[in-house]
Amino acid sequence: MSVVLDILSSVGMWEAILRIATPFILGTLGVLLCERVGVLNLGIEGIMTFGAMIGWLTVYMGAGLWAGLLVAALCGAMFGLLHALLTVPLGLNQHVTGLGITLFASSFSYYIFRLAVPTATSPPTVEPFRALEVPVLSDIPFLGPVLFNQTAPTCLALGLVLVIAWVLYRTPLGLAIRMTGENPHAVDAQGIDPIWLRIGTIMAGSALMGLAGAFLTLAAFNSFFPTMVQGRGWICIALVVFALWRPGRALLGAVLFAFFDAFQLRLQTVVDGVPYQLFLMLPYVLSILALVVMARRARVPQALMVPYRRGER
């Protein structure tokens, strides 16, 4: 028991949580946008991989870290456009299209990576984002390092939670987006084209997925390796359900998952005689439990995965 308390009271663990949570926050926001407008985007796993690779490559080739993030977001948006064109105007099956994009984007990432660094045996590193030590505030004991000793992309992710919550709930555009996910016919009847709205929103959401990937290479691991996303994208899909499709809860879900993850990492190192795989399972098992509890209350967007065709009843 005291082991658990030791872990829970260490600054290091709490400091790690927001860092671990960042890709989940960004990815979950991305999925949330897509689903709010009525489209499932299983391309996330691949789009994150591609974002991780292209962000890293941009910086490796000599551009700045922010340029890396920007390129990753743009590439994410392009994959989003592909997904949107296939699923929205053509109305193809969203599961199949999304999985196809994941397979394509993951393999394509590795291909480009190999073209860029054909010979290296250990992945080349880049100089990552450093923590922004906010003067004064980061000196506050405990809370200082936990909240104010984070990297710029983490701050960006937190800011995006606010921005997306504002857009969805306070602007006419956000209302139109939510309405499209519920009943695109109603949006059309008000003279707004749900097709374009879907395409645009999916692109924005996919750009966030690209960012989520780039965070891994540019602020966490400093280099790219093809399996690095490791199912984080799938977790984001589940987190959106846990979040009941709301941005604030998406943040909560991401932080909760990161907490379990940080906790199990530390538990692994101090508890002997238990296979470490059991600890690895912990965050997943707990998310499944949380999902079971939350999903009962979920108000799923009614038009999720229902293609819209004009003039069809």
* Residue ranges binding another protein (CB under 8 A): 170-173, 175-176, 178-179, 182-183, 185-192, 299, 301-302, 310-311, 313
118 near ligand ADP, rule: CB under 6 A: no
> Which partner in ligand ADP, another protein, none is near 183 (CB below 5 to 8 A by kind)?
another protein
275 near ligand ADP, rule: CB under 6 A: no
In angstroms, give the least distance from the CB of 308 to ligand ADP: 13
The nearer residue to ligand ADP, 118 or 311, going by C-beta atoms, is 311
Q: Tokens 């490791």 belong to which residue?
A: 230
In the chain, the N- to C-terminal Cα span, in Å, equals 61
Count of other CB atoms within 10 angstroms of residue 221: 16
The nearer residue to ligand ADP, 127 or 312, going by C-beta atoms, is 312
Cα distances (Å, whole numbers) of residue 276 to 103, 115, 280: 29, 36, 6
The nearer residue to another protein, 118 or 191, going by C-beta atoms, is 191
The nearer residue to ligand ADP, 114 or 309, going by C-beta atoms, is 309
In sequence order, the 6+-apart residues with CB closer than 8 A to the CB of 133 are 148, 149
For ligand ADP (CB under 6 A), the number of binding residues is 2
The nearer residue to another protein, 125 or 302, going by C-beta atoms, is 302
CA separation for the pair 56, 133 (Å, rounded)? 24
Count of other CB atoms within 10 angstroms of residue 200: 18
Judged on CB neighbours under 10 Å (0-12, 13-18, 19+), 298 is middle
141 near ligand ADP, rule: CB under 6 A: no
> Which partner in another protein, ligand ADP, none is near 172 (CB below 5 to 8 A by kind)?
another protein
The whole-angstrom distance between residue 291's C-alpha and the CA centroid of its chain comes to: 17
Residue numbers of the site for ligand ADP (CB under 6 A)?
311-312
